């Protein structure tokens, strides 16, 4: 069976106003899929052999439809993960996550309260760490995720240490991008800053024997050497990015619509995989073809290139090997 994962930004609803958010500023005025449509999406996903749906927002934990989504996925045999700030948990939420065997990705943006709260707001640090403690005690598996930005990139190594202490099974780094709120706040990471965060993280991962995932930076294959670090390449994946209204996007950070699940998930998958834009993404950046990492990376994050003023044939601006002209 071909893996057909779905990243579902199912809501823009959130109690925070984070300085790097790419969801709320773009999707807040979009009508959400109805409860019936959400159920239909999960049903069709199961029928098509979708093995995993990644829920994000917004803040999934405060949405009234979350229990329905989890129970429906359990009933249909679809695995779930969920990205959360950890601000709105309760005993009922923890029981739901455990019952649904939901894998949790908890946002912890730095190793100090000051750096985390500069991004997410006062009081969010202690709440996030308290949630991590409750997850560990409840037996809910989780990883921590740090959004690397100009305020916290020097803390990447300490973040790895903190993640291990919290009981997270692994940690993840994702670079903040020039989209949404970050366009106005300037809280998107630069090349040298991100490379420094990778150096610090790799050093600590090797020291502790810990696991780290690097999101949205396929070029990292050419930068890091540790076998404890997992790097993914979205250009090679068949993941469908779905926004709150059911639109299928080229990337969940781009307002480039390829299809819609409202016309049926099977049709959405077919339209996505037959799209000329998607095919161009998969082919990769022509001028990167001489790179030893090309077959995996294909030019890196195309969304970041677009947000920085380029297009699909421009390389990832964070890549140290790339020569950008935008």
- Of all residues in the chain, what percent carry a pLDDT higher than 90? 95
Distance of alpha carbon 43 from alpha carbon 76, whole angstroms: 7
Q: What is the pTM of this model?
A: 0.97
Other Cβ atoms closer than 10 A to 313: 15
- Residue pair 268/319 in contact (Cβ under 8 Å)? The answer is no
Q: How confident is the model over 138-152, as a mean pLDDT?
A: 98
DSSP 210-238: --EEE-S-GGGGGT---TTEEE--GGG--
DSSP 273-293: HT-HHHHHHHH--GGGTTSTT
Residue range 99-120: average pLDDT?
Answer: 98
Spell out the residues 6+ positions from residue 273 whose beta carbon is closer than 8 angstroms to its own: 238
For the domain spanning 6-285, the CATH number is 3.20.20.70
Compute the distance between CA of residue 249 and CA of residue 26 in angstroms, rounded to an integer. 13
Q: What's the pLDDT tens digit per position in 218-269?
A: 999 999 999 999 999 989 988 999 999 999 999 999 999 999 999 999 999 9
* Cα gap 40→37, rounded to integer Å: 5
Question: How far is Cα 86 from Cα 206, in angstroms, rounded to an integer?
Answer: 28
State the average pLDDT over residues 191-195.
Answer: 99
Chain segment 260-295, per-residue pLDDT in tens: 999 999 999 999 999 999 999 999 999 999 999 999
If you average pLDDT over residues 173-199, what whole number do you get? 98
Are 50 and 100 in contact by the 8 Å Cβ rule? The answer is: no
């Amino acid at each position: 069976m071909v893996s057909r994962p779905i990243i579902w930004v199912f809501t823009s609803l959130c109690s925070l106003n984070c300085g790097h958010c790419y969801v709320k500023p773009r999707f807040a005025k979009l009508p959400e899929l109805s409860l019936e449509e959400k159920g239909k999406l999960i049903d069709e996903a199961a029928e098509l052999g979708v093995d995993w749906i990644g829920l994000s927002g917004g803040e999934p934990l405060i949405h009234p439809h979350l229990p329905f989504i989890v129970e429906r996925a359990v009933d249909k045999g679809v695995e779930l993960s969920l990205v959360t700030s950890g601000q709105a948990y309760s005993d009922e939420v923890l029981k739901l996550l455990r019952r649904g065997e939901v894998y949790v990705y908890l946002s912890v943006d730095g190793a100090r309260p000051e750096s985390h709260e500069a991004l997410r707001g006062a009081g969010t640090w202690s709440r996030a760490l308290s949630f991590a403690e409750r997850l560990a005690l409840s037996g809910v598996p989780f990883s921590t995720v740090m959004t690397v930005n100009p305020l916290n990139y020097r803390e990447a190594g300490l973040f790895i240490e903190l993640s291990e202490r919290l009981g997270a099974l692994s940690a993840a780094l994702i670079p903040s991008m020039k989209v949404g709120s970050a366009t106005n706040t300037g809280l998107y990471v630069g090349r040298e800053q991100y490379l420094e965060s990778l150096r610090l993280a790799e050093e600590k991962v090797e020291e502790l024997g810990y696991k780290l995932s690097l999101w949205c930076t396929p070029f990292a294959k050419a930068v890091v050497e540790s076998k404890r670090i997992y790097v993914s390449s979205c250009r090679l994946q068949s993941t469908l990015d779905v926004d709150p209204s059911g639109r299928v996007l080229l990337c969940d950070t781009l307002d480039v619509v390829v299809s819609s699940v409202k016309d049926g998930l099977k049709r959405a998958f077919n339209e996505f995989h037959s799209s000329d834009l998607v095919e161009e993404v998969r082919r990769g950046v022509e001028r990167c073809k001489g790179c030893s990492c090309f077959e995996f990376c294909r030019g890196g994050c195309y969304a970041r290139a677009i947000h920085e003023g380029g297009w699909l044939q421009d390389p990832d601006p964070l890549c140290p090997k790339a020569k950008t002209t935008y």
